[in-house]
Each structure stands twice: as C-alpha cells, then as structure tokens.
A and B are shown apart, each in its own frame.
Chain A
Amino acid sequence: MNERDNSITTRDLCLWYGKFQALINVTINIRHGLITSLIGPSGCGKTTLLRCFNRINERYGYVTTTGEIKLLNKNIYDPDVSLIELRKSVGMVFQRPNPLPISVYENVVFGLRIHSDRKPARSELDDAVEKALTEVGLWNDLRDRLDTKATNLQLEQQQKLCIARLLPLKPEIILMDEPCSALDVEATRAIEELMLSLKGRYSIVIVTHNMAQARRASDECIFMLLGEIIEHARTADLFLNPKNPKTAEYIEGRYG
C-alpha cells in the first residue's frame, strides 16, 4: 500500500482519563478519500479516539496520551505542529448539532474570520457562504434567511450547517461523531447522501451506532471493543465474514 494513501495512522495509541485507560494500543491506518466508520458498543472509546485526531481531548487537563498519531504523514504531536492549523485541516461534526448562536451566515464564515490575518472582503465571504451552503444542499432553503439565528433552524439544517461551516477552511479530513443520532430517518438519509457526495475530496471518519448506516455509507469499517481495535476491514468484508468472533457477535446484535 502506498504511504500517501493513508490519511490517519496511529501507532500504539493509548489514552487515559485520569487513571482510567480508555484507549489501549490503538494502531490503525485510515485511508485517504474514503469514508471509514467506527463501530462498537457504548463506551468502547469511539468518541475518544475520534477526538484524538484533532487533539480536542486535550481540553481536559486530566487526559494523558502516549503513542503516535500521524495525519497525512505528519506527527500531530510534533512540537512544530500548530494546533490551530491542525484543527483547520481536520473538521469535526458533533453528536448534537452545535451551530454557534449567531446567524447562519456568520456560522459559515466563522472559520474564515478567525483564520485570516486581515479582514476578509465581503465578496469573498459571500462566495464562501454560497459555495458551502450549496455543497451541503442548504442554499436553496436558506439563501433568503442567512440572517436567521442558526440555533433556530431545524435539527437537520443545523447539522448540515455544522458540516458546511467546515468547508470554507478546505479541510483534508472530516470527523463525525454520530452525526445522525439526533436526527430522524429522512434527515439521516440526507446527511448520508451529503457524506457520499463529499467523499473523495475529504477523508471522512464517522462514528455510528447504526449498523445499517455503517453498511450503507462507509467504505471501511473499524470495530472497537473496550478501548481496543478488534477488526479493521472493508465494510462488505467486515459485515459478511468477520474474522474475529467478537465482531460477529456485535454485528449480529448480541451486545451494545
């Protein structure tokens, strides 16, 4: 396999919340341009692993990490890595849609505003908003309501907006933590379609509890259990003939 195909690789990644070890020797290769889903029962460390990739876990003072994480072949714990640049190139979508309590427009350009040294031109921002909203399929619905407070939108729109606000920063990787768990069936389908349309340009890692969703939407699948990686394979392989009996038990719905 070519080195350049990897977008996220970890080696012997361990993470402790205080004394509790939540990740145990995680070693994975997540391939570039694909949708990779992280599955596993509740509390197995999916969210924790995802939050390592943009180092947002470090918000909590009591977290310790050891091991190596490379994004696009760059170790993100190297001293010369800027947290700001890292987070600019790794977007994150949260479980509960969390648009900021400002207008739709300002939500989309938030990233541009905080990352540009000079004041961005109005036309530049306008273009970015139209482009990003078009890409997530919100432009037609919201073009006349760009001043609405984003927290007043429907949940589905909020979640799409949360994806849209990543795009102006041209991220390489998008991390999604159960992006559909607060949404209904229709909205879930819409988000999945959106993911498929974004695939290729971005590497997407999605945490999901929904087996059907993992099967429908992802190219590769990683099964975790109690902080460890049990199996990582192409989605079809993992679901049709899992190598590890624990994987089989899980996807047959025996626990979690």
Chain B
Amino acid sequence: MISRRRRYEILSERSIETLIYLCGISAIIFVFGICFFVFREGLPLVFKEDTNFSLGKFFFSTEWFPTSMANKRYGALALIVGTLTVTILAMVIAVPFALGATVFLSEFCGGKFRETLKIVIELLAAIPSIVWGFIGLTVINPLIIQVFHVPVGLNALNGAVILALMAMPIMVSIGEDALKAVPDSYREAALALGATRWQMVFRVLLPAAKNGLLAAVLLGVGRAVGETMGVLMATGHAVNIPFFRDDGSFNWGWMFESVRTLTATIAAELGETSQGSDHYRVLFLIGVLLLSITFVINLTADLVVKGIRKQK
C-alpha cells in the first residue's frame, strides 16, 4: 500500500514537471516555428530563377507593381522608406510626451492620482488598433486638413500621430520602471544639496536612468514598426517616397504625403495572392524583413537593460 502510493506520487510529480517544462519551452517552439514558417514561404523566391524578382531591386527600387500583367516589379524601397518615415516621425512626437509623462508620473504626482493615471495609460495600450484606424480616418484626418490646409489628411503625419499614441503606453511604463530603479538615495543627495526637483530630474535622474529610458524608446520603436491596421487606414496607402517632388527637388511638405508601410502592404495584399506565387513569396520576404528589424530592436533593448543590471 505504502509503496504504491509513493509510486503514484512520484509519477504525478514527474508528469507535472514535464507539463511545466513543456509550457516553458512552448514559447521558444512557437517563436522558432513562426520564424521557420515565414522563412520557408519567403526565401525560395530569392533563389528562384526566371523571375522578375531580385534582392537588389527589392531593396533599392521604388517600383512596386506586383500585379502588373506585362511586367511585374517588386521594389520595396518605397515601403521601407514609408515604414521608416512614419516610425521616426512617430518617435519624434512620442518621445518628448512619453518622457514628460514618465517624469511626471514617477516624480511629480503621488498616491491616488498617480495610480489613476497609470490605469488610464494602460487603457490606452488596450485600445485595438482598428479603433485607432477609425480615429485616424475620422478625427485626425479632418484635423490635419483644417490645421495645415492640405488637401488630404491621410498621410505620414496622421499615421505617425496614431503610432505615437499607440507606442506611448509601453514607453511610459518601461520608462517609469527605469526611473523607479534609480536609488532614492540619489534623489535625497541632490535635494539635500539644495537642488530643485527639476534640477534633480535633469541632472541626476535622467542621466542615471538613461539606459532604461533608451530601452523604453526602443521597445516603443519595435511596437511602432510592427503596427499594421492603424497605419494602413491612416497613411493613405500610396506607394510613395515622400521626400522628393516629381522634378527631383526636396519636398518640404513630406509629412503631408501619403505613404505606405511594409506591414500595411502585407495586410492589404496577402489575401489576393495565390499561394506559392512570386507575389505571395515577396510578401513573406517583407515579413522576414520586419521580423529581422523587430528582432534587432528588441535584442538591443534587452542588451541595454542587461547593461543596467550589470552596472549595479
């Protein structure tokens, strides 16, 4: 009797261990599975002969005509530039706001108000991206037309504003952690020397937390690069490098040009391709490109954060 019970216990313990182990490695399996799948669908095009596709054109040509009957062309440069433009513009808008919000949250307000504010900011993160798309179409679009007197409001700026709003919450919450990680003794040291709170923030806290804040920004960038639905609806969806006019001169109104991002292209076109076609595969290649970008960004953010831990 006793021995049997023991065996049962050992068995159940083993099986629970295995289960937990499986749960643990499932994340890894999924990530590798997804990578494998995306690569498998995309890469064959790179090695395929008798096609209009070439890697050189993919990266350096702006001609994106994947459905042309006579002459299919797969130049993704305009899409890459579109993604970069919208993302960078979004960061230019979001970083100052996020930084301000972070500092305000962690240093200038307390108690109930701070908790409320944090919840609201987290709610911002929970808004589905399609809803942001609506807002881009129906709120920001007319706003841009009115304020800047431009003919269309669906453009790089619109997409960037939406991305900024979407990337803010993650930047604020990671940034706040970074500020929280600065030892209180630094604050007291500065205050006891007669620093004002602003001096304390600018001279002590921000330098001390700079790695964590950088990681926060990077994660925001990662979020922005990968975002699809909102920008699909808000950017106007035109394959276009916004910086040059037709005559080749620099276009100062570039933020009011419609652009298209890598993600939006996949979302809009994948449904209409036949599986295994060149068009299908090139969209997966774009997926590979996006994966690589976000992978590098997240890895950098991770290393930066690790750097902080090591310093301590």
1/0 contact trace for B180-200 toward A, CB 8 Å?
000101111111111110010
A194–B155 CA distance with the chains assembled, in angstroms? 67
Asked if A56 and B194 make an inter-chain contact with CB atoms under 8 angstroms apart, the answer reads no
Q: In chain B, residues 279-304, which have Cβ atoms closer than 8 Å to a Cβ of chain A?
A: none
Asked if A114 and B186 make an inter-chain contact with CB atoms under 8 angstroms apart, the answer reads no
1/0 contact trace for B105-148 toward A, CB 8 Å?
00000110000000000000000000000000000000000000
Shortest CB–CB separation between residue A120 and chain B, in angstroms?
Answer: 14
Asked if B193 and A165 make an inter-chain contact with CB atoms under 8 angstroms apart, the answer reads yes
Q: B201 contacts the other chain (Cβ, under 8 Å)?
A: no
Least CB separation from A107: chain B residue: B189
Residues of B with C-beta under 8 A to A59: 187-188, 191
Asked if A94 and B189 make an inter-chain contact with CB atoms under 8 angstroms apart, the answer reads yes
Q: B208 contacts the other chain (Cβ, under 8 Å)?
A: yes
Asked if B192 and A56 make an inter-chain contact with CB atoms under 8 angstroms apart, the answer reads yes
1/0 contact trace for A66-101 toward B, CB 8 Å?
000000000000000001111110011010101111
1/0 contact trace for B12-31 toward A, CB 8 Å?
00000000000000000000
Q: B270 contacts the other chain (Cβ, under 8 Å)?
A: no
Asked if A61 and B110 make an inter-chain contact with CB atoms under 8 angstroms apart, the answer reads yes
A113–B185 CA distance with the chains assembled, in angstroms? 20
Asked if B194 and A84 make an inter-chain contact with CB atoms under 8 angstroms apart, the answer reads yes
Interface of B is mostly: helix
**Which residue of the partner chain, among B110, B185, B190, B194, contacts A96 with CB atoms under 8 Å?**
B185
Q: How many residues in A have their beta carbons less than 8 Å from beta carbons of B?
A: 28
Q: A41 contacts the other chain (Cβ, under 8 Å)?
A: no
Asked if B111 and A56 make an inter-chain contact with CB atoms under 8 angstroms apart, the answer reads no
A113–B208 CA distance with the chains assembled, in angstroms? 18
1/0 contact trace for A9-32 toward B, CB 8 Å?
000000000000000000000000
A101–B183 CA distance with the chains assembled, in angstroms? 10
Q: B203 contacts the other chain (Cβ, under 8 Å)?
A: yes
A94–B183 CA distance with the chains assembled, in angstroms? 13
Q: B93 contacts the other chain (Cβ, under 8 Å)?
A: no
A165–B187 CA distance with the chains assembled, in angstroms? 15
Which B residues have a C-beta under 8 Å from some C-beta of A?
A: 110-111, 183, 185-196, 199, 203-204, 207-208
- Cross-chain pairs A/B with CB under 8 angstroms, 13 sampled: A56-B188, A56-B191, A61-B111, A84-B195, A84-B196, A85-B194, A87-B192, A88-B194, A91-B192, A92-B188, A100-B208, A110-B190, A110-B195
